[in-house]
Amino acid sequence: MNFMLKLNYKFVESDDELKEAFQVRKGVFVEEQGISEDLELDGCDSKALHMVVQYRERIIGTARVLFTSPGVAKIERMAILKTFRRKGVGSKIISFLNGELKTKNINKIIVHAQCLAAPFYKACGFVESGMPFNEAGISHVKMEIQL
């Protein structure tokens, strides 16, 4: 079955979609990676732009965007349910956000990538722009891309 044809990439349009996005994040970050729920729900969600990946009626992936300064956005909390990983969903999230953010006069996107995910972000065009650092007990590196 080729579920890729049935995926919908879009910005959150309802409270229910946002709740489902939070469930995906909780499953990935809290349950799988052992990050504290207090750190995962950091109080920044109300000022973020949220996007989801929908398969049929189910949210299977998500990311949020914070606008950190004029022309600069930061992609955070990108999470994809385990069964949908390594199938191109993540790179399509980045591609979707790059296109949408360009239309919002964003010319640079930043991520704090988990070091294990740095090769993924490099493949999407990001470059490392700092030394590794610890965030939530996990090694990260700052990466960015010019749009």
Tens of pLDDT, residues 9-46: 999 999 999 999 999 999 999 999 998 888 888 889 99
Per residue in 107-147, pLDDT (tens digit) is 999 999 999 999 999 999 999 998 999 988 899 999 999 99
What fold, for 3-146? Answer: Aminopeptidase (3.40.630)
Q: Let me know: does 54 contact 92? Beta carbons within 8 Å.
A: no
Q: Which two tokens stand for residue 36?
A: 């504290």
Report long-range pairs for 83-87 (Cβ below 8 Å, ≥24 apart). 84/3, 84/53, 84/55, 84/60, 87/3, 87/4
Q: Let me know: does 58 contact 20? Beta carbons within 8 Å.
A: yes
Average pLDDT value for residue range 64-68: 97
Q: How far apart are CA 106 and CA 100, in angstroms?
A: 9
Mean pLDDT rounded to a whole number for the chain:
93
Q: Going along the chain, which residue ranges are E strands?
A: 7-11, 49-55, 58-69, 72-80, 108-114, 127-128, 133-135, 138-146
Q: Domain map of the chain by residue range?
A: 3-146
Q: Which two tokens stand for residue 52?
A: 């989801």
Q: How far apart are CA 125 and CA 142, in angstroms?
A: 13
